[in-house]
Every structure is written in structure tokens, then in C-alpha cells.
Amino acid sequence: MNSFNPIDQRCVPILGRDEEVSLVDLFTRADELPGLGGDSPTMTAALYRLALAVLHRALGPVNGDAWTQIWQARKFPVEKIVDYLERWRHRFDLFGDEPFYQCRELATAEPKSAALLVPYKSSGNNVTLFDHTTSDVRVTLTPAEAFRWLVTVHAFDLGGTKTPGVSPDKSSTAAPCARGAVFLVRGATVFESLMLNLPAYEPGRRRPMGTSTRDAPVWERPQLSAMPRKAAVPRGWTDLLTWQSRRVWLRRTQDEDGSVAIGEVVICPGDSLHKDFQLSNVDQHMAFYSDNVTPLRIDRERALWRSANALAARSGALAPRGGVPPRTFGWLLETQKAAGLKLPQLIPVTAYGLVNKQSKLITWAAEDIVLPARLLDPAETEAAAVLESALRAAEEVGSLLFEQARRLRGEFKTRIELQEEKKKDWRPVQLASYWAALTPEYDRLAHHLAGGEYEEAKRSWSRAVEVAATSALNRMLATGTTSTRNLAIRAKVASTVTFRLREALAGLKASPGATA
């Protein structure tokens, strides 16, 4: 095989189906395909972002009217997309003279196992994750698999030590999407999902934010050299969507049956973002805390709904306590007001991201959340205020339970034992049950907020927190012996939790008031 081009060869996996489609088929059949389904959540997000980069350059849309025309047609104007892809066909070929997402200058470098391209395969410093292969098992990838992982590694690689390329520097920084969760609005089809995450794109007018007139995806620029760019700044949205965080070379071999496989790869440090560059200045799919710098991340110890207030648009006095939602949310609100897009009361969103310890991958995840459409509008201050007070009350009670669990435990552990537990980040199992009980209750809260039922939202959430906390407390008190000392400390803990629980929920009894 002298060529493998994703433009017309099957390589994009479809959610819930044993099917892969080419890029042309993806856009042609977008209205009938349910969604993208990669081998990992990170792959799914990376493939969506690649497709969005293509759409932006082929279609724009330049404004809300252009967006609405496509949305109302319920199909992409495939001719424009195909014309665009044909213009850049040579840059999409995995094995071409200017190979897709690769650096030909690395062809003579010493390659390593293709497992380096796949995070869950064991190779070198990689630990085995979700897989039972070990480093002595030869890993080979089909061209379609290599294409998908190539897109993923540029978007989500954690960084750390890599094979030095032209530069002797082995250190690489984290890829853009490895720094925070990627939030994508979910539609019923690939068409809807792509459109709902496709803001206006007009580099001449610097739209979206941070996009200059020189913005372009990597395939529209001259082939990058093996020397990575240090402290670089993206020229705009499609530059960031296709950011080359690594320099990669795929070495292909031919199996006995004549099929082509990739068994070895070269992965070297690539372009690194300038230390002063803030993703919030360009990225449309990430959310940030109130400092507008720290991205919201997937946290396996903390359900996403607990940070829902960081996804809500804020204004006035509420802004410092919230966060900066993905800019695509603001685009949806703008389009709804200007072009008549009818948003559902509850907007389904999926967050894709990594859980890691420095450059070591622990796991990856895709977490779903529903967001009341009211929270996209900074003018809906009461909805944001109720959400803020509800989440704050839940966190206060969670902290209370943790504190009292440690108090209860402290009566029967030595100081040294408690210090060792603290180092190991000990958590009471009862606290996990508290948060688990509240997880389905968040959906109820979201429904009430979506319908403007603010008093009922506060009442039902207050009841849910009280029931969950009481259940967790009872489990805590059931531990230990029935000695007089144990009974005494349990009585103190029960009294403290009961009193402070009422205090924490008192704020939900009165109207929070709107803050303009």
C-alpha cells in the first residue's frame, strides 16, 4: 500500500456500530450517523476536533445566518467540503511525500514499538492500562488505527521524556487537550453534534476570539521541520485544533498476506505553547475557573456536576464565584437569539479528558452532564444563584462529614497513624456514598432550574442533601465498638453534624435573590 488517505478510506469509528467511515462519508452521512466512537474518550474528542477544523476551513460559517442556513438544511453542503479536501488531498495521505501529521525528516531516526502511540499498551515507561499485553508482545497497527491514534496523540499526549529528534532536548510539554476537559454539546446525530460545536469562523474579522488572519490548520502550512517550535503561540482556532504537539514518524511494514501495518514509530518533542499563552484566549471547548486560567479537568474523585457552576455564564457579583464556560455555549445563546435556534431546556454535554499524575496516565473518561439552557445566559442571574447556593451547600455538608469522620477516627488512632493516613489521602467510604446519592439528584435540580422552578429546586435539593448526609452519618456511627467511650464520641459527632447540617441548608430556605 503506497497510500492511505482518510479522505476516502474507512478510518473513523461510529458510535454503537461495527462500522468505520471515511471523512467524505462522515460529512455526507452526518445526518444519519449517531456519533463518533473512538477506542478511548480522548480519541473521540480528537476526531471531533479534527472534523471541526475541516468544517471551519470549508464552510466557516462566517456568521449566524450562514450557520442557520446549514442547520435548517439538516445536511452539510458536501460539495464545498469535498472541494476543500481535494485541494489538500496530498496533505492527508498517511504515507505521502508530506505525510499527514508527521515529519518526514525523522524517517532515518531509530524507531520504537508502535505501542508508544497507544497509551494503554505497555512499552518502556508506559504502564499497562486496560490491556493485558506486555512490552515483549509486538504491537502492530493498521493504517486506520494509526491514523486515529496519530490524531489523538497530538491532542492529548501528556508530555514527559521523548526520543530526542534533531534537537537534543528530550522534554516535551503536555498537548493542549491534556491540560483540561474538552466539553462538547451532544446532538442526536453527527451532524447536530458538529454543528452545535461549530461557532462562527471568520479570520478576517478575528472570529472566534484569538483567531488571526493568518490562522490555518497544519495541512495548509508548509511541512514542519523536525526542529520543534519552542514557546509558540497559535495563530487561531484551527491552528490550535490541529496543534502539532509532537514530531512523529510512522514506519510501515508489509505482512505476509501483503497488508500494510505500522509496527514502529518515532515520537519526539513537538511544538510547545508559550508559558504566558492562555488556552482561554483561543480554545472554544474548554471551561475555566474564575481565574480564567485554570482549566476544568476530569476528576475521578469528584463528579462533574459538582463543578456545574463553572459551566454557567456569569455576570456581576456572581462572576468571581463561578467560572468561564466553553465559548461554544455563548455561541449557542447568540445563535438562539439572533437566528431562532430552538435549544432544549436541558442541554446534553459530554466532557472528555484525562486523569494523570504528571506525565503518567492513570485513566481517561467521558462524563455526561445536562445543563439548563438558562445557565447559558448571563442575564438569568437567579438560575445561576440557585445553582451556586445548592452546590455550595452540598460541598459544605461534604466537608462536614469528612471532618467528623476524621474526628471519629481520631479517637481510636494514634497521632502517627493519622499522619500516615493523611499522607495517603485517606477518605471515609461513607463520604463516597453521600456524593453517589446526590448524583441522580443533580438531574432533578437541573430540571427544576430549566423550568424556572427555583423554590422547588431549593426545597428538593435541601431534602436530598439532608437524606444523603443522614444516611452517610448513620453509616459512620455504625463503625467501632459499643464501649462507653465509643458511644460518647458518636453522640458528639451526631450532635455536631445535625446542628451544622441545619446551618448549611439554611441558605436554601430563603430566596437567594438575583444579582445583576
Residues 6+ apart with CB under 8 A from 344: 373
pLDDT value at residue 413: 57
CB contact at 8 A, 53 and 242: yes
Residues 6+ apart with CB under 8 A from 276: none
Query: Which amino acid is residue 146, in one-letter code?
Result: A
**Lookup result for grid cell 490555518:** 216
User: How far, in Å, CA of 265 to CA of 280, rounded?
Assistant: 33
User: How far, in Å, CA of 395 to CA of 398, rounded?
Assistant: 5
Strands (E), 326-392: 346-357, 360-372
3-state secondary structure 38-72: CCCHHHHHHHHHHHHHHHHHHHCCCCHHHHHHHHH
CB contact at 8 A, 225 and 297: no
Per-10-residue mean pLDDT for the chain, 516 residues long?
92 96 98 96 98 98 93 96 98 97 94 89 49 60 97 93 75 92 97 97 94 97 91 96 96 82 94 94 93 90 92 63 84 82 91 88 93 92 93 95 83 60 67 94 97 96 96 85 71 91 83 41
Query: Which amino acid is residue 324, in one-letter code?
Result: V
Q: pTM to 2 decimals?
A: 0.91
Distances (CA, A) of 74 to 71, 174, 194, 499: 5, 37, 12, 56
User: How far, in Å, CA of 47 to CA of 152, rounded?
Assistant: 8
User: How far, in Å, CA of 170 to CA of 408, rounded?
Assistant: 49
pLDDT value at residue 276: 92
276's grid cell: 504566558
CB contact at 8 A, 198 and 191: no
503's grid cell: 446551618
CB contact at 8 A, 128 and 138: no
Convert the pLDDT of each residue in 398-451 to its tens digit.
999 998 888 887 665 556 655 666 655 667 788 899 999 999 999 999 999 999
Domains and CATH numbers, the chain: 12-281 (no CATH), 380-516 (1.10.132.100)
Residues 6+ apart with CB under 8 A from 266: 106, 109, 110, 111, 112, 163, 165, 247, 248, 249, 251
User: How far, in Å, CA of 405 to CA of 402, rounded?
Assistant: 5
3-state secondary structure 277-316: CCHHHCCCCCCEECCCCCECCCECCECHHHHHHHHCCCCH
User: How far, in Å, CA of 42 to CA of 184, rounded?
Assistant: 12
Distances (CA, A) of 307 to 174, 270, 311, 417, 446: 23, 32, 7, 33, 13
- Please tell me what DSSP assigns to residue 477: H
CB contact at 8 A, 189 and 34: yes
User: How far, in Å, CA of 72 to CA of 187, rounded?
Assistant: 15
Residues 6+ apart with CB under 8 A from 480: 408, 412, 486, 490
3-state secondary structure of 18: coil
